Structure 1
């Protein structure tokens, strides 16, 4: 198991380019299964989760060429769908929740699919119900086989229908869209997720020959077509990395430029960091965060304590609440962080408390942060990364802390952030990979 040894207290400076969006990549890469023609994907993040998904595609017979680490050319003209029911696939896919995204394209094109119990972060319950119920409404049948731990799905006659999703699940919406694009008739999805990454998927599918309207709203209409062709697609900058770098600059009192941040796709993210008192401004598509001695958390207009909570798009993404919480520890003022969507994502705050932060964990979903206003620096400790987002939050805390910190289980960080130690070291950080 690898670790980071972090020497904190150093001011950073320079320009950093955000990687391609992990959450978009998992959807886009799954969509290559919908056509036997060539699909070229650019700006692929070079991270464990995405590389594992590409490896799984190759294992099931998809031709994969990698001109460089951020570009891949796929041709799914000889897919071995039965590989998905093999012990090898189960062992690999069990480490990656994104493998569930294969189900929609496979049902659409090959009329059957197998879904193992998903892996991924230990951040709480993540249901497959939205996926399965959506497939059933399109005419698929499924059975869970406890002896092999697989959902077996059959879709010999997919037909379009109206459905109201029980939750605006991003992966659930994407999976249902990919199942519906080749179904007979018209599918209407209400309460659909509408994240920029899902919009990217829909636009890509339309370039391949799909007929999807309502893109960007929570009401999607999909007219089934008979065939999808090849295309080229560029993945957006990762909004979670952009938010992480804004928080990093504030915590370490650094002057950082985030180049090519994809500002038009960030929604309320910059405004939430401004509510924490962080200064930032735009230069073209770059975000510049100036060195700031102290930042002060705003209050609501009536003077009450600020609450920041997650909500489906266009609300604030849950993936950045861990960053917000860490950044608030050194602000002046208080904030209540309310993590509504996952019940275990705030449990990493015990490490921040050990570092000297003033945090009250009210329950599994809420934490009250009393900012130290830099009157007391966080101190370096040894800790372990429980999930991707908490891991990089602890890394930010360690970079701002006094002394050395050791972060164990950094494979969790590597799952979501490419070469994060090298990229931050180029800004002046001191991170050693052990």
Structure 2
């Protein structure tokens, strides 16, 4: 009987391989070994060296095992210093990624101000560029301009970049209005039917989106004759599932009521952006959102995402505990 630790390692390797969308044969080719050897490793029926684990992790671009220091860690904090000066709060990463996905709703030009320059934003830009969306940094790299093509080339999608961000799942809401069928790589390693994905599927089925999952891809079919005929009650009060439902409702030609919605700041930011696109949203900041959709959106929009409340609170706390006088600019309105 295989040792428990080999079984656990094998499961980690299998999950990482499936997340990348590879077959056992493809992984075997990358490792210069046989498919049967990979099969034995994933079943926990073969001893595996640290060197082989490292090679597998490199091939799959995934840290299979994390080795860290298990002893005590000591931190020395030297405080008692007053702070002075002024600082700008950066824009919210969570708001920016939702707005990048929402730009797919618009046939016109979108400009987002002071976009967070982080890896998740870069990954989404790689995906957008690969399907034909033109993006460029303007105003000394502070702002982002987004111009969609007339037709999206989903066959050319950068699958590696897509699989490295969970936010790719929020492409489903906008794409169901632009395409009758398309394929999208798995989002951030989550398999269809898990807690983080199934609430999206339940909500988006109400807009005619049918999903099957095979070989690392969501295969989407859209039936435009299906539309919400009663309120959508989200099975999870999550930020991204609420945002996906909003994105689907934005171009639905009718009124959509979304209940058990997240009222978090990034959801509010998306609502304000949709209003800038001409979509009316009632109930912003509550758990019931009423979306008055418009079937076509073709406007030039200039929008400033909200500031990051976590960063703002960190700066406020730093001022308080050091009894300092700081000027913190662009503090989110809910803190005032």
TM-score, length basis structure 1: 0.53
Q: Determine if the alignment matches structure 1 residue 153 to structure 2 residue 153.
A: no
- Structure 2 equivalent of residue 210 of structure 1: 279
- Structure 2 equivalent of residue 47 of structure 1: 118
Offset of residue 250 of structure 1:
6.1
Do the aligned partners of 1:165 and 1:191 also contact (CA within 8 Å) in 2?
A: yes
Distance 1:40 1:168, change over 3 A: same
Provide the C-alpha distance between the structure 2 equivalents of 1:174 and 1:17, rounded to a whole number of angstroms: 27
The C-alpha deviation readout for 1:252-303, integer Å capped at 9, x for no partner, is x47362522434224xxxxxxxxxxxxxxxxxx6xxxxxxxxxxxxxxxxxx
Do the aligned partners of 1:160 and 1:184 also contact (CA within 8 Å) in 2?
A: no
Do the aligned partners of 1:209 and 1:229 also contact (CA within 8 Å) in 2?
A: no
Alignment of 1:366-385 (within 5 A): none
Offset of residue 126 of structure 1:
5.9
Provide the C-alpha distance between the structure 2 equivalents of 1:238 and 1:126, rounded to a whole number of angstroms: 26
Offset of residue 7 of structure 1:
8.7
Distance 1:234 1:178, change over 3 A: same
Do the aligned partners of 2:90 and 2:311 also contact (CA within 8 Å) in 1?
A: yes
Alignment of 1:305-384 (within 5 A): none
Runs of 4+ aligned residues of structure 1 deviating over 3 Å after TM superposition are 111-115, 246-251
Offset of residue 209 of structure 1:
2.1
SS of the residue corresponding to residue 146 of structure 2 reads strand
Offset of residue 12 of structure 1:
6.1
- Structure 1 equivalent of residue 39 of structure 2: none
Give 5+ residue unaligned stretches, structure 1: 1-5, 267-284, 286-434
Do the aligned partners of 2:108 and 2:148 also contact (CA within 8 Å) in 1?
A: yes
Residues paired across the two proteins, number: 254
Do the aligned partners of 2:253 and 2:293 also contact (CA within 8 Å) in 1?
A: yes
Q: Determine if the alignment matches structure 1 residue 105 to structure 2 residue 174.
A: yes
Q: 1:242 aligns with which of 278, 293, 312?
A: 312
Q: Which of these two proteins has the greater Rg computed from alpha carbons?
A: 2
The C-alpha deviation readout for 1:352-392, integer Å capped at 9, x for no partner, is xxxxxxxxxxxxxxxxxxxxxxxxxxxxxxxxxxxxxxxxx
Backbone CA RMSD of aligned residues? 2.7
TM-score, length basis structure 2: 0.68
Offset of residue 111 of structure 1:
3.4
Offset of residue 102 of structure 1:
1.4
